[in-house]
Amino acid sequence: MKQQKMTYSFKTESLKKTYVSGETQVHALRGVDIEIPSGELIVMLGPSGSGKSTFLNIIGGLDQATSGHVLFRGQDLAALTNRELTYYRRENIGFVFQAYNLVPSLTALENVALVTEIAPDPMDPMEALEIVGLKERARHFPAQMSGGEQQRVAIARALAKQPEVMLCDEPTGALDSATGIVVLKALMAVNQKYGTTCIIITHNASIAELAHRVIYFADGNVSQVKINESRKSPEAINW
Ligand code: ADP
């Protein structure tokens, strides 16, 4: 029988993270073994404190595991020097956080261009703004934009360097439902058009219906992985 090789963006093996402060130890990750297939839109759900952000920060090269391995397309992140880790983040990972982190004195276009200047193979910043539906707002400053628009600029900024993966930690956490839906549509467009693996952490269980795959965290472990047979559109979910 012909064996099918699964292509994955990430594979973790016995991934553990323990935070130590004084006498106390917090076991944020207790040995996570999981594969994140390439090109999927993945939603991570789980109670607050279950380890989702810790997991995202470690696979994104922002934090280091206590033990275990993260393989990014076969490359063990623990084997990278600090300098290599910087290049790893810069070239492969687009981050989107709850806080948009735009530079207030720069226009939307200039905020996106900041990133394309240091990326090896960037797309035109205007094209990135077009994907998120903000071409007409390119010359506006963050203060002249709504929260949802600012978050879409942040998505365009992350996308413009053409990363393999977008890591999104509560991207709609500060937004109302109508605005959140527009932001999710932008992420789905990125996933669909460029095949970018998108991992989205959320508290909102209904967002899971948009995903190819839902990964549930509980108490520092993955408790369940669910593959959606059919996916809803952002307009069809109950926020
Ligand atoms: P989630 O994203 O699911 O809410 P986190 O990954 O943020 O969970 O946190 C997992 C656990 O690790 C929590 O108990 C949290 O308090 C703890 N934790 C996270 N970051 C730190 C840190 N820098 N120092 C100490 N404890 C931390």
Q: 26: Cβ below 6 Å to ligand 1?
A: yes
Superfamily for domain range 8-236 = P-loop containing nucleotide triphosphate hydrolases (3.40.50.300)
List the beta strands (DSSP E) in the chain.
Answer: 8-21, 24-37, 41-45, 67-72, 75-76, 93-96, 165-169, 197-201, 213-218, 221-227
Exposed/middle/buried for 69, CB within 10 Å: 0-12, 13-18, 19+? middle
Q: Is the pLDDT of residue 239 over 90?
A: no
Q: What is the pLDDT of residues 161-189, one digit of tens each?
A: 999 999 999 999 988 998 899 999 999 99
| CA atoms of 172 and 181, how far apart (whole Å) | 8
Q: What is the pLDDT of residues 5-34, one digit of tens each?
A: 558 999 999 999 999 999 999 999 999 999
Q: Which among 129, 161, 142, 140 has a CA at the least distance from the CA of 101?
A: 142
Q: Which among 230, 200, 198, 214 has a CA at the least distance from the CA of 34?
A: 214
Q: Which among 155, 14, 158, 37 has a CA at the least distance from the CA of 89?
A: 158
Ligand 1 atom at shortest distance from the alpha carbon of 17? 12
Please tell me the pTM assigned to this model: 0.94
- Segments making up each domain of the chain, as ranges: 8-236
Q: 24: Cβ below 6 Å to ligand 1?
A: no
Q: 87: Cβ below 6 Å to ligand 1?
A: no
Which residue bears the tokens 């520092």?
A: 220
Q: 49: Cβ below 6 Å to ligand 1?
A: yes
